[in-house]
Chains A and B, each alone.
Chain A
Amino acid sequence: MRILLNLFFFIALAFGADGSIEVVKKVDTLPSLAIEDGTTAYDDSLKKSFFKTLVSDVNVLSFFNVDHHPYSTQFDNTSVVLENKDKEYVIRYKIFEDSDKTFNVSMKILQKSVLVKTKNYKIKNKNLYVFVAHAMAYDLNEYMGGEPVEWMKRKVLISRLVSSGQSEIVVCDYTLTFSQRIVKGGINLFPRWANNEQTKFYYTSLNGRRPLLKEVEIATGKTSDILSSDGMMICSDVSADGKKLLVTMAPEGQPDIYLYDVAVKKSTRLTTFQGIDVNGQFMSNNRVAFISNRLGYPNLFSLTIGSNAVQQLVFSGKSNSSCSAFNDNVVYKARESSDVFEANTFNLHLISTQNGSVRRLTANGVNEFPRFSREGDAVLYVQESSQQSSIGVIRLKFNKNFLFPLIYGKIQSIDW
């Protein structure tokens, strides 16, 4: 009896609390998926890149155990290729060009070798082909009944440091496969989409006498000056309807958070602390999360617009220096070592302001600049290594992180 009792305790302790066991089991039980390419047009480099992007996307969906081998086939074949006969799912596609040079993709989803869905995609500019792959993965996710992954189709803005005193604004997809420079020359930082449609954005120009917040219309390249301030001028967040901005300004040398009304062109000061208040983020119920050193070190606080009361949100760590908010949840960056002379570790944590629960989202390295997706289901962030910058995507529900490296330069900030 005692042996049996000890056995149960041993099993419970050894396996029950170990989350990694759950992950392993999930990998084993995920349905298998293979991708078949029926393309006869276009060069190999485009075909390889398209396939690679689609594989990445399907991996990020986290539904499947994805076969990374690129299988070739005839698009109209009635059966899947031999190696995929036992696969639960097969995506087959064909890239082709119209007479007017339009980029087309036809997709089939087969389940257990039976056609269950087809869809055609068309885009005028071939250079944007990665967004077609993202759209295909989006539709696959929808077919599978997954949580919406709107962020997969959105464009990402990054500020890229290319040399000392030179940083440019680049628009790209979330995997950094596509990228196009929009602003260049001098120091240009902190890009923020100005609306949900992603037709214009704000950024900070540090190339004049004072820091200047500018707005750019992507279609035309037209720029407008919005606000300037001595010292600092950063658009930290844009409200969901695009009508209000949270900006950090320092007209008297004191960095404080202001609420800017886009239509009225008027800013209202929200913080008055004689230290550092930065990084304001819209939350639910008229609240704003922000970073302040009012306790002598950077930490996460919140305030309610129209009230002077400030609430401390995080009670652990001695350096929590940036954040992103979605409704009642806040992701923040915490320094977890404080060595002046060696590489430090910065990890991202998720806190629910409703119940105070904290969850660590990254394990090691330098992880910073978190940005919630518009739906709050994913977090985009920057991971720095000694060699390069990467964009990371955290799928909160699946507890999975995916990294996509930047080819050259260092990422200063991101938005999506």
Chain B
Amino acid sequence: MKKNVILSSVAVAMLLFSGCSTNKPTVDETSKTTAQTVVTPALESSSINSNSNSGATVASDASAAENAANNAASNSGSTAEDIAKNMTSVYFDFDKFDIREDMKANVTNDVNVAKAAAAAYSVKLEGNCDEWGSDEYNMALGLKRAQAVKTGLISEGVDAARISMVSLGKSAPVCTDKTKECWSKNRRVDFKLLP
């Protein structure tokens, strides 16, 4: 019996140790090649190079709609941006997208602005997240927050057709400190007014 146990132990130890051995990379010592070649066409293509520091960079249509809204409103004395300042951001808990009790007054205030001073504008809801994650799920979380606010606006009488949504994820933080207070400021929905 003892002998069997010893033999088994030896076998186990040998198996485990054999896993530690390494093979050297296979090297064909006989091959000796000479090649005249160029770098792959993808590298050689002028796609990146010819455009460097010039027109290749695509300038985006950033905030064109917001600018148009402000231009249109400037004739009436107060810009869309001014009116939007009267709308209060709605803040959310970590990993949540339901509207907290203490945020319901904010939504009511936003409804009042949307139905009065901002009645001539469309309302764009921008959902935001804290810095934990830049993946699609986090973007979806920002969207669900915007959707919760949209539902709140509609339930208090704002026309759904006036409301659009976008999730910005963690792309537009108002605070970049590494504190819980800072992160809580970024879990929010902001308002923009569009013509």
Contact = CB atoms under 8 A, between A and B. Distances in A.
Given A221-B51, A412-B171, A188 B60 contact: yes
B118 to A, nearest CB: 16
Nearest to B144: A276
Given A22-B19, A116-B31, A322-B135, A206 B44 contact: no
A131 B124 contact: no
B65 A124 contact: no
Interface string A95-122: 0000000000000000100011111111
A199 B47 contact: yes
Interface stretch (B75-83, B98-106, B162-170): B162-170
A180 B29 contact: no
Contacts of A333: 135
Contact of B6 (A5, A167, A291, A368): A5
Interface stretch (A9-17, A40-48, A74-82, A400-408): A9-17
B61 A208 contact: yes
B48 to A, nearest CB: 6
A118 B35 contact: yes
B137 A279 contact: yes
A221 B58 contact: yes
B61 A127 contact: no
Interface in A229-285: 230-232, 234, 236, 248, 250, 253-255, 276, 278-279
A255 B140 contact: yes
A279 B55 contact: no
A221 B55 CA distance: 7
Contacts of A278: 136-137, 139-140
A341 interface: yes
B80 to A, nearest CB: 13
A234 B20 CA distance: 45
A25 B21 CA distance: 8
Contacts of B26: 144-145
B74 interface: no
A104 to B, nearest CB: 10
A26 interface: yes
Contact of A116 (B32, B47, B144): B32
Contacts of A279: 135-137
Contacts of B28: 145
A12 B143 contact: no
B25 A125 contact: no
B27 A145 contact: yes
A122 B6 contact: no
B165 A231 contact: yes
A397 to B, nearest CB: 12
Contacts of A15: 16-17, 20
A71 interface: no
A8 B27 contact: no
Contacts of A182: 56-58
Contact of B2 (A5, A221, A322): A5
Contact of B147 (A185, A253, A413): A253
Interface in A390-416: 411-413
Contacts of B19: 16, 22
A2 to B, nearest CB: 8
B20 A22 contact: yes
Nearest to A254: B147
Contacts of A363: none
B116 interface: no
A210 B9 contact: no
A8 B65 contact: no
B58 A223 contact: yes
A130 to B, nearest CB: 10
Nearest to B50: A219
A165 interface: yes
A216 B147 CA distance: 30
A146 B149 CA distance: 55
A322 B136 contact: yes
A255 B61 CA distance: 24
Contact of B13 (A8, A119, A146): A8
A145 B25 CA distance: 8
Contacts of B36: 119-120
B68 to A, nearest CB: 10
Interface in A186-244: 186-190, 197-199, 205-211, 216, 218-221, 223, 230-232, 234, 236
Given A25-B22, A221-B56, A279-B135, 9 more contacts: A12-B16, A26-B22, A123-B38, A131-B39, A135-B39, A231-B147, A248-B136, A276-B137, A413-B135
26 contacts: A117-B33, A120-B37, A124-B49, A125-B49, A143-B31, A145-B26, A145-B27, A161-B171, A164-B171, A165-B172, A182-B57, A183-B58, A184-B57, A186-B63, A187-B171, A211-B167, A219-B46, A221-B56, A230-B165, A253-B165, A255-B136, A255-B139, A276-B140, A279-B136, A322-B136, A412-B171
The 3 closest A-B pairs by CB, nearest first: A16-B16, A186-B62, A125-B49
Interface of A: 1, 4-5, 8-9, 11-12, 15-17, 21-22, 25-26, 29, 31, 63, 111, 115-125, 127-128, 131-132, 135, 143-146, 153-155, 161, 164-165, 167, 171, 180-190, 197-199, 205-211, 216, 218-221, 223, 230-232, 234, 236, 248, 250, 253-255, 276, 278-279, 291, 293, 298, 321-322, 333, 340-341, 343-344, 346, 368-369, 382, 386, 411-413
